[in-house]
Chain A
Amino acid sequence: MKEKYKLKDWQDLPIGGVVAEGGNSADYETGTWRTSRPIWMEENCINCLNCWVFCPEDAFILKDGTTKTGKPRKEIESINYYHCKGCGLCAKECPVNKKGKKIAIDYIKEEH
């Protein structure tokens, strides 16, 4: 755990539970909430980015890529498990999964 997030004593808390800085949810490990885990299967992915849109934790990491015809686009690079809370929305919303022939996001029980 980062030093910054070591549990503080009551005397050291900012007043009234205020979150006194912006954008620090990026530092909060929602990954510990996970009981199930999405596994992204690159070989079956069509890079529609539905999963990236639906993910409530912004856990899909994108990279620059190109379409078959050479047009620039964003593609999925990986899932950030520090933030992925295992809700399964990505697997539900993936059109490849929906079609039912192949799986682009597998959704399995987390092993503890």
Chain B
Amino acid sequence: MSKILAITGAGAMSECMRQINPDVVPAFPITPSTQVIEDFSQFVADGKVDTEMITVESEHSAMSACIGAAAAGGRVMTATSSAGMALMWEMLHIAASMRQPVVMTLINRALSAPINIHADHSDSMGARDAGWIQLYAENNQEAYDNLIMAPKIAENMDVRLPVMVCMDGFIISHCVQTMQLEDDDKVKAFIGEFESTYPVLDTENPATWGALDLQDYYMEHKRAQHMAMKNAKDVIEKVSADFADIFGRKYELFESYRLDDAERVIIAINSVCGEIKEVIDERRENGDKVGLLKIRSFRPFPYKEIAQALAGVKVVTVLDRSESMGAYGPLFVEIRTALFDAPEKPMVYNRIFGLGGRELFMSDIHDIFEENKTYLETGKVEKMFDYLKVRGG
């Protein structure tokens, strides 16, 4: 039976994994993703799933085992965070290039040094070029829903790419929120049976995965991978539409919140969007035409669709919760690219916030809207790039 329950974001992910009942889960625990694997291993111990759980000696091994198990012909899931994913680095690329539909929960956390266990997006943004589909979530309901959809997106024959389902560490992973937990059978029916491609355990039809590619073929394989990622855009939309039909919650590649007549818009990712919506509602009461564009799919990135959604907007503030030292934030770079061909370009500028879990309060978001109001009035972006809430300016 579907039910409303109070659960942490991490707990919601392990419940979802229980419902999916993957063939193999290789994992190595790391804060703040530990609870996902901790709860799931309890399900394994209690016989609530048939999953082969492999407790490995590192995250590099965890992702290696994921790839091996997927190539063997199984549905495979895992979870990690921050430095854990950094240690998977080599294997992330291999999972994507070998087109293995591994599904991973990534609880976003800052990278060291100094050591910090709290939320920012430096882990997933650093992995943006690894060839994984990246879906982001504002709260645990969205993260749970994304995880239900992830295998269907990953395993689609026009895609066959790994999917990273991201949420903010602690803010979402460790905070209890109420959400709708769907019926086990309905989730299983939605996802369907796993279909393998050239599984190595099929000894009647021997296949070799991960062989050498020289100058004569490497580029063609990369080109095919690019196509798969492009296909993923339509597949994400299709799977989301099917999901809405069955479960009633609608998702697109990004969420447009009160964008229709908005003059000033914030673009952001993950949990901060909850506060931004509250602030927008408050300001809208006073007739302030502000809105939010919340990214759900960062890879593939919906350039055209975003440009269309921003038509008529005058000022865009892009919030990045990670940095590319010596460059603009990763989200800002994409947004500016998306807007370059727009007939009427809005002013676009970049703010870095929330690194290592630093809070952005509703008053801070009001300040952002005050600042971009000034920009709209003067017609000039005073500061293209700046930090929010850093001492010393």
A contacts, CB < 8 Å to B: 7-11, 13-23
Contact = CB atoms under 8 A, between A and B. Distances in A.
Contacts of A19: 207-209, 211
18 contacts: A8-B220, A10-B220, A13-B220, A13-B221, A13-B224, A14-B198, A15-B198, A16-B99, A16-B197, A16-B221, A17-B97, A17-B98, A17-B209, A17-B211, A19-B208, A19-B209, A20-B198, A22-B207
Nearest to A24: B208
A11 B221 CA distance: 9
Contacts of B224: 10-11, 13, 15
Main secondary structure of the interface of B (DSSP, over half): loop
B160 A17 contact: no
Contacts of A11: 224
B100 A16 contact: yes
A8 B224 CA distance: 12
A9 B223 CA distance: 10
A16 B224 CA distance: 8
A43 to B, nearest CB: 38
A15 B207 contact: no
Contacts of B211: 17, 19
Interface of B: 97-100, 160, 197-198, 205-211, 213, 216-217, 219-221, 223-224, 227
Contact of B213 (A7, A8, A17, A23): A17
Contacts of B208: 18-19
Given A8-B220, A9-B220, A10-B224, A15 B197 contact: yes
A13 B221 CA distance: 7
A16 B209 contact: yes
Contacts of B198: 14-15, 18, 20
A15 B99 contact: yes
Given A8-B220, A17-B97, 7 more contacts: A7-B217, A10-B221, A13-B217, A13-B220, A15-B198, A17-B209, A17-B221
Contact of A20 (B99, B207, B219, B223): B207
A17 B206 contact: no
Nearest to A17: B221
A56 B97 CA distance: 28
Contacts of B100: 16
A46 to B, nearest CB: 36
A55 B160 CA distance: 38
B98 A16 contact: yes
A44 B364 CA distance: 88
Nearest to B227: A10
Nearest to B99: A16
A80 to B, nearest CB: 21
A21 B198 CA distance: 9
B148 to A, nearest CB: 25
A15 B217 contact: no
A1 B150 CA distance: 43
Given A10-B221, A10-B223, A16 B160 contact: yes
Nearest to B206: A22
Nearest to A18: B198
Q: By CB atoms of chain B within 10 A, which of A17, A18, A20, A22 has the most?
A: A17
Given A15-B99, A16-B98, A18-B198, A7 B216 contact: yes
